[in-house]
Amino acid sequence: MAAKVTTPAAPTAGMAWVEHVQATLAAAGHRASAPRTAVVEVLARHGCVLTARDVVSELRGGGREVGTATVYRALELLEELGLIQRLEVGEGTARFEPVHPSGDHHHHFVCDTCGQVSPFEDTGVERAIARLARRMDHQVGGHDIILRGDCPACVR
């Protein structure tokens, strides 16, 4: 089965994730703050990898004055609580994306030429990982797949 290119999370999936984040933060004893909520909402809107600078730029472009250090602190807390995952795609800058409580996830193709990151899902890959785990008698708690090469625009 061919890989399916995914698009950012649907609005309802994003909103469900925001509610999950708010509940998790409250349960962990963290109060709701406007800057942290703004960071969460940006991540939910995109549903895929963003750098801290991307988050800051979007917030400032939308008229929100949230400091860069505040964004980094929010991302650090969200990562500590398992609400986002950090992806190192080889550019020297970490990218972040939501972790959905349902376990739904996707993988990434990174263009070596232009740096574009394209999300994809592939049920065949997921089945292969499950088969490998059974064969190796391991339990897989999570996985990240980053494929590298050239995107269609750079191949031309």
Buried b vs exposed e over 91-108: b needs ≥16 C-beta within 10 Å? eeeebbbbbbeeeebbbb
CA distances, 13 to each of 37, 102, 103, 132 (Å): 16, 10, 12, 30
Q: Note the pLDDT tens digit of each residue in 26-63.
A: 999 998 899 999 999 999 998 788 999 999 999 998 78
**pLDDT at position 91 over 80:** no
Domains plus CATH for the chain?
4-155 (1.10.10.10)
Give percent of the chain with pLDDT exceeding 70. 90
Residues 2-29 have a mean pLDDT of 72
Q: What is the pTM of this model?
A: 0.78
Residues 85-99 have a mean pLDDT of 84
**Confidence category of residue 12, pLDDT binned at 50, 70, 90:** low
DSSP 30: P
